[in-house]
Amino acid sequence: MSTGSANEVVLAACDALATGLDGPALRALAACEKAEVDRELLNLLPAALEEQGLTYYTFGSDEASEAGVRLLASRMLDGRLTPVNWPLKSSSGSGMTWSWLVACHRSTTSTTSSG
Mean pLDDT taken over the chain = 79
5-14, 29-38, 81-90: least confidently modelled range: 81-90
Determine contact, residues 109/69, Cβ cutoff 8 Å: no
Task: Report the C-alpha gap between 37 and 90 in whole angstroms.
Answer: 37
31 — phi, psi (to 5°)?
Answer: -85, -5
Q: How do residues 31-77 score in pLDDT, each as one tens digit? A: 999 889 888 998 999 999 999 999 998 888 889 889 988 888 898 88
> In terms of pLDDT, which residue wins out, 73 or 22?
22
Task: Report the C-alpha gap between 54 and 8 in whole angstroms.
Answer: 18
What's residue 79's pLDDT? 84
Determine contact, residues 29/13, Cβ cutoff 8 Å: yes
Q: How far is CA 50 from the centre of its chain?
A: 13
Segments making up each domain of the chain, as ranges: 3-51, 62-113
